[in-house]
Structure 1
Amino acid sequence: MYSELEYLNWIFRIVLATLCGCAIGYERTSRNKSAGIRTHAIIALGSSMFMIISKYAFFDVSTADGARVAAQIVSGIGFLGAGVIFVKDDLIQGLTTAAGMWTTSGIAVCIGSGLIFIGVFATLFLVVLQKIFHYPFFNQIDHPNVLIQTNIISDEDKIYKVFEKYCIDITAIKMDKNLDLMTFDTNNRWIENKNELLKDLMIIESITKASIL
């Protein structure tokens, strides 16, 4: 049997992995992504727990292969990640978030197995990378799009006024009446004050959701 000190060590690993998941999830939440703090925290908690089970729970069974438990984490997280990826009008949404969930799982596996330094380093490195890749230099590769969910197309003039306020040049509009979704293609290399833009859009009564790709 294991000692109380070993149990406390495992609890510490689970808590640390969950906190790392929260850090990654916070970055996603700050960019209005669907999978945020709670999702990443639970993924990290579960992955670290399964890794601890994989390493230590089968000490009394000589014929069991505990590594199979850890191996199933990778495929299991892939199933969750697929749930946040959407393809609409040749636009892929949620791919970065899905990759972040998969990496969060790997970080939790590291911490659960005892590679704490690697797990913490990977967390900091991932968060820093996410921040860096949202700087204007990297956004020159593609043009951001603004997605607005609204059931009143007549408010289009109000939407344009908000775009004019932030000097956003609209090149095309795609409408999906089934989803009440409007996609505004922009000609801007970078949208400044994204949070302020989204707040101004949400002031319009007919808009129920707004996001920027």
Structure 2
Amino acid sequence: MLTDYIIRLALAGLLGAIIGFEREFRSKEAGLRTHFLVAAGSALMMIVSKYGFSDMLGDQDVALDPSRIAAQVVSGIGFLGAGMIIIQRQSVRGLTTAAGMWATSGIGLTIGAGLYWVGICAAILVLIGLEILSRIFKNDFSKVITLEIETLSKATLNNVMSLLKDFDVDIVGYSYSKHEEQDSILYSYVITGRLKKRRDELTLLTALNELEETVSLRIL
């Protein structure tokens, strides 16, 4: 049984690492090591929950629930996933990674329970959802972008808004501030909008960079 337990831990860690590699390749909040630890840890909790108290089964008046410890992984992983979700300027980041972490813990529990092929198939489906589906649909949905621009002229805002309209960007909101910079006044704008054609992001950045009196420009 010891060899079987080690195989379960190793396989769970391997599947978690594969999913984590995909997240790390995309520079997401949690990467290879985090997913590896979540999967291996979940498998360990399942093994302990299912087999760790077998020596007490012969004791009188002792009743064990083999799913009790493993069940806490589901709620515990929620706190870890919540730390990856960031709300930044009316857009949510890290939600997919948090969901992937939750799925990875489920894979670890499945492997720890000895359901090898179920866990392997689940890992394949998670990778399909993270990688292949994102490639298929990456140009079909709008993307929330945040534009940070600093200019020397307040009138530049009209040019920026006009350019965003030409690129079919729906403006969600913007903020404005100004401060003195040596002998001039620097105007700062933060504009949030939805870019319907994601492939136009680089072209949009180039067009904005060509505006006169632009000091700095960044798209998030």
Give yes or no for contact 1:17–1:112 (8 Å, CA) kept in 2: yes
1:22 and 2:30 correspond: no
Give 1:58 shift. Answer: 0.8
> Of 40, 43, 46, which residue of structure 2 is paired with 1:45?
40
Give yes or no for contact 1:107–1:123 (8 Å, CA) kept in 2: yes
1:133 and 2:133 correspond: yes
User: CA deviation digits over 1:92-116, x for unaligned, max 9?
Assistant: 2111111100000000101011000
Give 1:34 shift. Answer: 0.8
Give 1:66 shift. Answer: 3.0
Give yes or no for contact 1:136–1:190 (8 Å, CA) kept in 2: no
Partner residue in 2 for 1:143: 142
Partner residue in 1 for 2:4: 9
Give 1:74 shift. Answer: 0.4
**1:1-213 → structure 2 map (5 Å cutoff):** 6-62=1-57, 63=62, 64-137=64-137, 139-140=139-140, 142-146=141-145, 153=150, 185=193, 187-191=195-199
Give the counterpart letter for 1:54 in structure 2.
S
Give yes or no for contact 2:145–2:195 (8 Å, CA) kept in 1: no
* TM-score, length of structure 1 as denominator length: 0.70
Q: Is the partner of 1:134 in helix, strand or coil?
A: helix
Give yes or no for contact 1:147–1:210 (8 Å, CA) kept in 2: yes
- Call closer, same or farther: CA 1:125–1:67 in 2, change over 3 Å: same
> Which protein has the bigger strand share?
2
Give the whole-Å Cα distance in 1 for the aligned partners of 2:75 and 2:50: 18
User: CA deviation digits over 1:165-189, x for unaligned, max 9?
Assistant: xxx8766585699xxxx67645242
- Call closer, same or farther: CA 1:50–1:184 in 2, change over 3 Å: same
Give the whole-Å Cα distance in 1 for the aligned partners of 2:8 and 2:79: 24
User: CA deviation digits over 1:111-134, x for unaligned, max 9?
Assistant: 011000010111111101212221
User: CA deviation digits over 1:2-21, x for unaligned, max 9?
Assistant: xxxx1111111101101101
Q: Please say which structure displays the higher CA radius of gyration.
A: 2
User: CA deviation digits over 1:140-194, x for unaligned, max 9?
Assistant: 2x3223468x9x956xxxxxxxxxxxxx8766585699xxxx6764524233899
Task: State the percentage of identical aligned residues.
Answer: 39
* TM-score, length of structure 2 as denominator length: 0.68
Give yes or no for contact 1:170–1:185 (8 Å, CA) kept in 2: yes
- Call closer, same or farther: CA 1:147–1:8 in 2, change over 3 Å: farther
Partner residue in 2 for 1:162: none
Q: Is the partner of 2:54 in helix, strand or coil?
A: coil
User: CA deviation digits over 1:52-84, x for unaligned, max 9?
Assistant: 001110101232323110110100111111111
- Call closer, same or farther: CA 1:186–1:90 in 2, change over 3 Å: closer
Give the whole-Å Cα distance in 1 for the aligned partners of 2:40 and 2:145: 33
Unaligned residue ranges in structure 1 (runs of 5+): 1-5, 155-167, 198-205
Alignment root-mean-square deviation, CA: 3.6
Task: Count residues in correspondence.
Answer: 183
Which segment is superposed worse, 42-51 or 130-139? 130-139
Unaligned residue ranges in structure 2 (runs of 5+): 152-166, 178-189, 206-215
